[in-house]
């Protein structure tokens, strides 16, 4: 009981602290707080049932004659200390996680547990971990002394094994019933996401996320008859330049036919870590933290209405390389059976390009190295740099300027072979702990997100300047896009303003500067880019070439690991587990959303996109065909025609 009381007390204090921290995000919904605390108390009790399992087992299995002996008391004291330390450590960890994601532990936290080196390293570089651990240890020792004194003073009578077994049986049945009958749905009672998160219990949410890290679409989400779903998808995905090539009703393979010469340009795709659109001056920011990107935007084709598919790097990489809507659970980058998929890299490789994925961190993180290495890219990561080539590094990777120096070196080397290159470059510096080399910009390192954004902007400007002096520059298309926004937290489950990202396509003399204001999804980048190059190819992409798409057919996808959003016209449809569907009228400026009556047609469209994407991956239909698999000895022909894109 003492540990249970301590757990509930710590959980209540944590909930209170997070409430104060998120007060502005409650948006006046203060009347829901008593319900949130009541629901939270219920989850605290459920969590306590799980948490005291070690103590219950010891109490059940320890013979009566050992109870009260010094050795037994030392064992109990040690276990109580450990449990108290875990509770206090969890409370601090929840604060840190909330500071980053404005949420209780969730699928992201489970994901991060796999990569303890990067995550612990990131925390150590962002917070005074040693001091925190020392304070937690001292607090745990003091709390253990107080609790053990209370335990010794409490009247107790050791029970025989039979009675202990009866008590344990009741406990076990209660625990099993909670496991089978209770999930984390009870906390989803408010339209305000912050209120719902406050109603949770961090430990319980971590356990729930671990149980649900793989979500079967048909099991958890609203679905259509399979034939109807694919019939709907075929009508949605059909475009004037494409022709379906398969009789399989579940296939979306199409011939994309563009007339005229293909433009065999080098393509450098830079996906920038956490670059929200509202960081850029050309999107209204007045902090002047992206001077190079803002200058570049005036010379580029700027896409002003593009939305990321998710909230994590692996989701962005999935969208940019596979052009598929996000499927519930983990990104495909992290899933089994993700080899030999039809990808942007496979198209370029089939066209005779050398393909690269260049990353400033270690490729094993988030399975990025394995994914790209098995999907038509050669992976180049920080291991390709010697110590003298690294000016600065943190736990996530080398400084972005060193990443771009590596990129320049790789392009120099490969273009000498006479074949064009497609390189996907992934930055890392715009990430907590927001550290970078001193003296590059006017904001000191480790002072916040704005400094990291400005440093990455500096590194991109330096890269473009260096590239402009290279012989391959005039024949190169530079694509700069974000992997996701800096924060996905908002007043609603899927705040649309937290998914808007910039996209610049820059190539002096090849791509005419201008703006594209039409609604776009991150999955549309690959077919749009290939369309600009006038490529004809077999496609299994779900994305559109925005320049060839008829007006009014635009749509976008946004998601968390569970909630799947579909934006069409002025509406947002959200699909959730338990086969729930909701329709909203979103505010694209502040992220709020007004519930409205469901539009059956839009809901069925949303279901068709997501259901068919999940089916395609689960049944191997995203795999490349023999016609798109190309060996490394593919010979580049110098006789291909070229022409100016503009």
CATH of the domain at 531: 3.40.720.10
Same domain, 32 and 101: yes
Separation between Cα atoms, residue 229 and residue 234, nearest integer Å: 9
Same domain, 204 and 328: no
Looking at per-residue confidence, does 623 or 120 come out higher? 623
Separation between Cα atoms, residue 305 and residue 516, nearest integer Å: 8
Tell me how crowded residue 352 is: count the other CB atoms within 10 A of its CB: 16
Residue 231 in any domain: the answer is no
In which band, very low, low, confident or very high, does the pLDDT at 117 lie, cut at 50, 70 and 90? low
Number of domains observed in the structure of the chain: 2
Model confidence pLDDT, tens digit, residues 8-58: 999 999 999 999 998 888 877 788 899 999 999 999 999 999 999 998 898
Same domain, 182 and 315: no
User: Does residue 129 come out as left (phi exceeding 0), alpha (psi in the -120 to 50 range) or beta?
Assistant: alpha
Model confidence pLDDT, tens digit, residues 531-542: 999 999 999 999
- 3-class DSSP state for residue 581? strand
Separation between Cα atoms, residue 403 and residue 370, nearest integer Å: 19
Separation between Cα atoms, residue 381 and residue 69, nearest integer Å: 58
Residue 243 in any domain: the answer is no
pLDDT attached to residue 392: 95
Same domain, 202 and 281: no
Same domain, 353 and 493: yes
User: Mean pLDDT over residues 80-93, rounded?
Assistant: 91
pLDDT attached to residue 643: 33
- 3-class DSSP state for residue 63? coil
Same domain, 88 and 166: yes
In which band, very low, low, confident or very high, does the pLDDT at 627 lie, cut at 50, 70 and 90? very low
> Of the candidates 548, 563, 578, which is a domain's last residue?
563
Q: What are phi and psi of 378, to 5 degrees?
A: -100, 130
Model confidence pLDDT, tens digit, residues 364-408: 999 999 999 999 999 999 999 999 999 999 989 999 999 999 999
Residue 554 has pLDDT above 90, yes or no: yes
CB-based contacts of 214, cutoff 8 Å, min separation 6: 329, 330
Residue 619 in any domain: the answer is no
Same domain, 443 and 549: yes
Residue 15 in any domain: the answer is yes
DSSP letter for each residue of 486-546: S----SSSS-GGGGEEEEEEE-TTTS--EEE-S-EEGGGHHHHHHHHTT--EEE------T
- 3-class DSSP state for residue 423? strand
Residue 630 has pLDDT above 70, yes or no: no
Same domain, 401 and 509: yes
Q: What is the residue range of 9's domain?
A: 2-211
Lowest mean pLDDT among 194-208, 314-328, 595-609: 194-208
Model confidence pLDDT, tens digit, residues 253-278: 999 999 999 999 999 999 999 999 99
pLDDT attached to residue 638: 33
> Of the candidates 563, 592, 625, which is a domain's last residue?
563
- 3-class DSSP state for residue 243? strand
Same domain, 188 and 310: no
Residue 215 has pLDDT above 70, yes or no: no
Same domain, 417 and 533: yes
Residue 343 in any domain: the answer is yes
Model confidence pLDDT, tens digit, residues 125-169: 778 888 999 999 999 999 999 888 877 765 555 678 888 899 999
**Beta carbons of 574 and 581 less than 8 angstroms apart:** yes
pLDDT attached to residue 121: 74
pLDDT attached to residue 119: 65
> Of the candidates 530, 563, 596, which is a domain's last residue?
563
pLDDT attached to residue 637: 34
Same domain, 157 and 14: yes
- pLDDT, the chain, mean: 90
Model confidence pLDDT, tens digit, residues 499-520: 999 999 999 988 999 999 999 9
Going from the C-alpha of 198 to that of each of 39, 43, 95, 490, the distances in angstroms are 9, 11, 12, 14
User: Mean pLDDT over residues 559-566, rounded?
Assistant: 91
Separation between Cα atoms, residue 480 and residue 505, nearest integer Å: 6
593: β partners: 586
pTM: predicted TM-score of the whole model, two decimal places: 0.79
Same domain, 199 and 336: no
Residue 191 in any domain: the answer is yes
Joined tokens for residue 378: 């050669």
Residue 40 in any domain: the answer is yes
Going from the C-alpha of 236 to that of each of 193, 249, 289, 554, the distances in angstroms are 32, 14, 40, 10
pLDDT attached to residue 61: 86
Residue 320 has pLDDT above 70, yes or no: yes
pLDDT attached to residue 460: 98
Residue 234 in any domain: the answer is no
How far from each other are the two terminal CA atoms of the chain, in whole angstroms? 74
> Nearest to residue 584, comparing CAs of 191, 288, 116?
191
% of the chain surpassing 70 pLDDT: 92
Strand pairing of 500-506 and 537-539?
A: unpaired
**Beta carbons of 538 and 256 less than 8 angstroms apart:** yes
């Amino acid at each position: 009981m003492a540990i249970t009381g301590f757990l509930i007390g710590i959980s209540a204090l944590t909930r209170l602290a997070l409430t104060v921290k998120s007060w502005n995000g409650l948006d006046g919904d203060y009347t829901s707080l008593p319900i949130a605390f009541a629901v939270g108390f219920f989850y605290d009790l459920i969590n306590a049932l799980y948490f005291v399992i070690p103590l219950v087992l010891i109490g059940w299995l320890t013979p009566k004659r050992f109870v009260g002996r010094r050795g037994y008391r030392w064992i109990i004291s040690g276990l109580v200390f450990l449990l108290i330390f875990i509770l206090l450590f969890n409370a601090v960890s929840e604060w840190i996680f909330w500071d980053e994601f404005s949420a209780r532990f969730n699928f992201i936290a489970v994901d991060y547990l796999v990569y303890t080196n990067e995550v612990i390293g990131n925390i150590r570089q962002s917070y005074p971990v040693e001091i925190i651990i020392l304070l937690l240890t001292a607090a745990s020792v003091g709390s253990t002394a107080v609790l053990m004194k209370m335990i010794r003073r409490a009247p107790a009578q050791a029970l025989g094994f039979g009675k202990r077994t009866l008590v344990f049986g009741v406990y076990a049945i209660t625990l099993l019933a909670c496991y089978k009958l209770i999930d984390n749905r009870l906390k989803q009672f408010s339209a305000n996401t912050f209120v719902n998160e406050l109603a949770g219990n961090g430990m319980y949410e971590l356990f729930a996320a671990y149980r649900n890290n793989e979500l079967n679409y048909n099991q958890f989400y609203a679905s259509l008859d399979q034939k109807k779903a694919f019939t709907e998808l075929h009508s949605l995905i059909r475009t004037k330049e494409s022709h379906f090539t398969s009789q399989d009703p579940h296939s979306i393979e199409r011939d994309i036919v563009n007339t005229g010469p293909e433009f065999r340009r080098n393509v450098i795709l830079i996906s920038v870590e956490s670059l929200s659109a509202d960081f850029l001056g050309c999107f209204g920011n007045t902090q002047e933290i992206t001077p190079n990107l803002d200058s570049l935007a005036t010379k580029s084709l700027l896409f002003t209405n593009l939305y990321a598919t998710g909230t994590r790097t692996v989701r962005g990489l999935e969208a940019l390389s596979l052009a598929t809507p996000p499927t519930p659970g983990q990104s495909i980058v992290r899933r089994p059976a993700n080899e030999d998929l039809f990808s942007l890299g496979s198209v370029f490789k089939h066209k005779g390009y050398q393909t690269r994925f260049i990353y400033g961190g270690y490729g094993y993180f988030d399975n990025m190295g394995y994914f790209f290495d098995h999907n038509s890219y050669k992976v180049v990561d920080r291991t390709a740099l010697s110590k003298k080539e690294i000016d600065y590094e943190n736990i996530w990777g080398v400084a972005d300027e060193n990443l771009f120096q590596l990129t320049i070196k790789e392009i120099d080397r490969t273009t000498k072979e006479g074949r064009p290159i497609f390189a996907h470059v992934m930055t890392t510096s715009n990430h907590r702990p927001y550290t970078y080399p001193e003296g590059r910009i006017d904001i000191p390192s480790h002072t916040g997100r704005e400094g990291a954004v400005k440093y990455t902007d500096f590194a991109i400007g330096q890269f473009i300047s260096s590239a402009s002096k290279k012989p391959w520059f005039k024949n190169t298309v530079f694509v700069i896009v974000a992997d996701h926004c800096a924060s996905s937290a908002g007043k609603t489950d899927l705040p649309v303003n937290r998914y808007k990202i910039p996209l610049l396509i820059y190539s002096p003399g090849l791509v005419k500067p201008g703006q594209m204001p039409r609604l776009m999804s991150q999955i549309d980048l690959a077919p749009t880019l290939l369309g600009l190059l006038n490529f004809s190819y077999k496609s299994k992409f779900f994305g559109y070439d925005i320049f060839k798409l008829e007006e009014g057919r635009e749509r976008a996808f946004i998601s968390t690991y569970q909630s799947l959003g579909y934006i069409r016209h002025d509406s947002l449809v959200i699909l959730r587990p338990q086969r729930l569907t909701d329709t909203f009228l979103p505010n694209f400026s502040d992220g709020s959303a007004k519930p409205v009556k469901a539009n059956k047609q839009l809901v069925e469209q949303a279901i068709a996109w997501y259901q068919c994407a999940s089916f395609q991956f689960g049944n191997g239909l995203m795999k490349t065909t023999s016609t798109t698999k190309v060996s490394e000895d593919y010979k580049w022909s110098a006789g291909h025609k070229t022409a100016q894109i503009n």
